[in-house]
Structure 1
C-alpha cells in the first residue's frame, strides 16, 4: 500500500485536459466501451479485496465484513446491473404525438452531459467514491475522482488501482486536500457530484454556479426515528435502532440520529435498548474486531465534547478509548430539545432519546427542523404511516428498520432541502449524468401543409391556425367563424 501523496496542480491540469479531450473525441460513447469499463470496475474490486479491506482497516478500523458487504459488494452489484441494463436505459425513445406530427420522427435522445467531477467522503470511501463513477461510466461521461484525504490509505489504493483497470484517458484519481479541491472547483465541469456536509456543499454549489454547472449534493442531517409503541415490537425496534448506531460506528449519512417516542413508553424502550446492548456485545466495543473506530482525533473529540455537554441521562455505553478513537455505542434518555446532542448531526455511535407527548408532537418536532436525509418510523398502524407520508418531508421514508433500505438498489437515493438534491443508484445515477435532447426530422415533402404559416397572414390563415393550435374551438359543421 503506497503512501498518500497529493497531486500537483500540473497533474490536475493534465487530467482535466485529457478527460475533456477524450469526451470530445467520442471515446466514451459506444455502449460496448462503457460496459467494458463497468466490468473493469467489478474486476478491480474483486481482484483486490484484501488490499481494500486492509486500507479501510487502516483508515477506520472497519470490520472486514462491513467492507466486503457494504463497500465492495454494493458497487459490484450495481456495476453488474448497470452493464446489464445499459442498452435499455440509453436507447433513444420515440415519443407519442398527434397524427399530424407522426412523420416528424419525434425522438428523445439520451446523451452524456460531459466530464464529471466526483468529490467523495471518508466514511464509505469505496462505495461513495465509485457509486457516482459507475453512474458516469454508464452515462458515457469521463470522470475525475477526488477522494477524501481523511481516509488516506483508501484514497491511495484508489489512485494505485485506477491505472491498472480503468482507461486513464477517461478516469483519473486526484488526491489532495483543501488546496487541490479548491483548484478543482475553479475549473468548469459538466456536472459535479459532492457527498459530505452542508457547509462544504454551499461552497461547492457556489463554485458550480459560476459556470452554471449542475450539481448533485448528497448530504446528511439529523435522521429521526419515530417509535409508535402502540403497534410496534419495542424489543425488535430497539435492537434494530441500536444496530444502526454500531454500523461503521454510526459514521453513515443515514444512521438513526435520534429517537422520538411518547414519554409514556420511554421506560419500556430503554429496557429494550439495554437488552439489545447485551445481544450486540457492545461492552466489547473498545477491543472488538466487529466495530469501527472514529475516523480522526478531531472527530473523536467533537463527539466526546457533545457527550460531556449533554444533559441527558446515560443508560447504555459511554466508554471511550481516545488512543484508538473508539466509543462504545452510547444511549441517553430524557434528552431535552435544546441538548448538545440535538444541535447538529451526530455522525457517531451516540443515540439520544427524546420523549414527546404523542406521535403528533413527534411530527411537529420533525417539521420544525431541516428536512432529513431519511426518516425512520417503527409502526404497524396504516394511519400513522399515511400521516408520515403526507405530513413530513425527507429524502426517504422507511418503516420498521434502519440503514437496510439502502440495499434496495432500484429506489432513488436523494435528499431534500438541507439534506441535498439529485438522485443516485442504478438508472437514477445514469439519469443524473445524462441530458435529454429533443429531436425531430420534418420531411421537406410536407411543405404544402405549412402554407398557412407564411406571411402575408390573412383572416383565413389566422382562423385556421387558431383552430389547429387549440386557441379556439372548431366551429360546428355548417357554422361560420
Structure 2
C-alpha cells in the first residue's frame, strides 16, 4: 500500500479550521456521552484497520522495525483509546466533595465539563501514540481537537490526516500540517488547552491568552547501577531502552552512573547483550526495518558531533553513516561530568558511562542537574531503592526497568521542572482536558442558620463565625526531629521494655523462691 503525501495547510486556512472546530464544539454533539463513545470507537478502528499502513509509514519516516511500530506506537494508541471508551460514563459523572457539616446542605458538587477546543502539538519520535492517544482523552472529556503533527514524519502525518477525515467527524477533529510558519500561526490563536514539545514557544504563546498548557519534555534520564543488581537483567533492559527507536525516546536511558570498580564488569554485560540483540551488525546497518534511523540529517550530525568531541572511550559501537542517518548503538566509558556527551540530552543510541565512587555520589550527581523526566535504579536492595526514591526528584522513578512506565495502566506520565509539567495517559488525560466546575445549590432555609453573615455585625455574630472553624490541632512544642531518630528510638524502646519485663519476672521468681 502506498502512503499519502504530506500537504501543508495554507496559512490563511488555519484560523478557519479553528473556527470550524469551535463551531463543532458549540453544536453540542459532544454533550452526549454516546456520541463521544462513537467517535472514540471510530478512532480505535482507524488505527486497527490500518495497522499495516501505519507500519509502512513509520518505516518510511523512522526506519522503524514493524514489531517496534506495533509495540511502541500502534498498540498503545489502541489501548489508550479503549481505556477512555470504557470509562467515559464513569469519569464524566459529577462527584461530591468530602462531607462537610458546614456545607453539606448546600449540595456541593463537582461537575466534569470540557474545556472547549484544544490544540495538540505532537513530536516525531512516537508520532501515532503521541498524536492520536491524546485525542481519545480529549473526546472522552467532550472537547473538539486541532492536531499539529510533526513535519519530520511526513508519511505518518499524511496518513493520520487522511484517515481522520475518513473515520472521524471533522467538525470535531481536524489537522493542521506544516512547519514553523504554520505552527506560529496556530500559536497566535486562542485555544482552551494546548500541549506540545515546543516548550517555551508554546508556553509563551499560551500565556498571552491565559491558556492552560501541558508540556511533556525530556532531559537526561540517568540510570544508577548497584553492583549487587541482577546484572544480566539490568544490561538487557537498559540496552533495550537505548536501542528502541534508535534512542529517540524522551525517557530513554541517557547516561549510566556506576561505581568505578564495577564499570568494566557492567560494560562487558552490556556488550554481551548487544551481540545477542544484533548478531549480524552488517544487516543492522544496511537493511531498513531491522533498526531505526535518526530522524533527520541535522539530528545525525548533532549526535555524531557529540561523539566526536567526547573525551571518553568507545567500548563498542561507534559506526556512523550520515547518508543513511545510521548511528550504531554505542557505549562510551570513563565519561566525566563536563564531557560533550553530558552537555545536552543525547536523544540517540549513544550511552555514556559515568563512573562514581559510591551510590551516594551518584545521587549527588543526579541532584546537581535538572530534574529528569525519568530516573532509573537497578538494585535488589529495597533500602537502597528507597534511598534513591526519597533523595531525588524526577518525573518518574523506576526500579529494575526502563521505558515502559508511560504505558502502564493507572500511572501518570509527565515531568517536573525543566522536564515538563502536567501529566497524561488514562484518567490523567481525561482530567487534563476537563474543567472541574464547582457547583452548589443552597436552600432558602440556610439563612436561618447563617444569618450572622449579614450586616449589621455585632459581637454575637462574630462569635458565631468562630464556631465555623474546624477543630485545631494541638500546638507543637517544637520542631520534629528530621534525623530519623524515631525509628531507632522505637527499637530501643522495645528492647528496654523487654529487658524490664525480663527483670520483673526474675525479681518475682526470686521473691517466690524466698
- For residue 101 of structure 1, report the CA deviation from its aligned partner: 3.1
Supply the distance in 2 between the matched residues of 1:252 and 1:334 (Cα, whole angstroms): 24
Alignment partner of 1:251 is 2:248: yes
Partner Cα separation in structure 1 for residue 41 and residue 205 of structure 2: 33
Name the counterpart of 2:284.
285
Q: Which residue of 1 aligns with 2:204?
A: 206
Instruction: For residue 104 of structure 1, report the CA deviation from its aligned partner.
Output: 1.6
Return the alpha-carbon distance in structure 1 between the equivalents of residues 253 and 18 of structure 2.
39
- SS across alignment from 1:444: coil
C-alpha deviation, 1:30, in angstroms: 1.5
The range that moved more, 160-169 or 400-409, is 400-409
Change (3 A) 1:334 1:92: same
Report what 2:262 is aligned to. 265
TM-score by length of 2: 0.88
1:172 to partner: Cα distance: 0.3
SS in 2 for 1:365: helix
Distance 1:145 1:461, change over 3 A: same
Contact 1:235 1:269 (C-alpha < 8 Å) held by counterparts: no
Check the 8 A contact 2:230/2:380 in 1, yes or no: no
Q: Give the aligned partner of residue 310 of structure 2.
A: 310
SS in 1 for 2:199: helix
What is residue 421 of structure 1 aligned with on the other side? 421
Could you tell me which of 272, 276, 291 is aligned with 1:275?
A: 272
User: Residues 450 and 358 (structure 1 numbering): CA distance in 2 closer, same or farther, change over 3 Å?
Assistant: closer
Report if aligned partners of 2:113, 2:435 keep a CA contact under 8 Å in 1.
yes
Change (3 A) 1:333 1:107: same
> What whole-Å deviation, never above 9, does each CA across 1:154-188 have from its counterpart, x for those lacking one?
11111111111111001001100000000110111
The residue that corresponds to 2:40 in the other structure is: 38
Whether the 8 Å CA contact 1:120–1:148 is kept in 2: the answer is yes
Residue aligned with 1:93, SS = coil
Q: Residue 230 of structure 2 aligns with which residue?
A: 233
Distance 1:393 1:444 in 2: 50
Structure 2 gaps of 5+ residues are 473-514
Cα 1:443/1:269, change in 2 over 3 Å: same
Select which of 83, 86, 102 maps to 1:84.
Answer: 86
Q: CA deviation at 1:357?
A: 0.4
RMSD: 1.6
Matches within 5 A, 1:137-156: 137-156=139-158
**Alpha carbons of 1:99 and 1:148: their partners in 2 closer, same or farther (altered >3 Å)?**
same
Relative to structure 1, the CA distance from residue 362 to residue 470 in structure 2 (aligned partners, 3 Å threshold; closer, same or farther) is: closer
User: Which entry has the higher C-alpha Rg, 1 or 2?
Assistant: 2
TM-superposed CA distance for 1:322, in Å, is 2.2
Give the structure 2 partner of residue 334 of structure 1.
334
Deviations 1:192-218 (A, max 9, x none): 111x3xxx3111111111111110000
The aligned residue for residue 321 of structure 1 is 321
The Cα shift of 1:264 comes to 0.6
Q: Name whichever of 459-468 and 296-305 sits farther off.
A: 459-468
Residue 121 of structure 1: how far off its partner (Å): 0.4
Count of residues in correspondence between the two structures = 468
- The question of whether the paired residues in 2 share the 8 Å contact of 1:277 and 1:316 is answered with no
The residue aligned with 2:511 is none
- Conserved? CA contact 1:249–1:292, under 8 Å: yes
Per-residue CA deviations over 1:277-332 (Å, capped at 9, x if unaligned) read: 11111624202432111111111111111111111111111112222211111111
Instruction: Provide the rounded CA distance (Å) in 2 between the counterparts of 1:237 and 1:467.
Output: 59
Partners of 1:100 and 1:208 lie apart in 2 by 39
What is the correspondence of 1:460-471 to structure 2 with a 5 Å cutoff? 460-469=460-469
Provide closer, same or farther for how the CA distance between residues 49 and 210 of structure 1 changes in structure 2, counting only shifts above 3 A: same
Note the C-alpha offset of 1:462: 2.7
Give the deviation of 1:463 after TM superposition.
Answer: 2.5
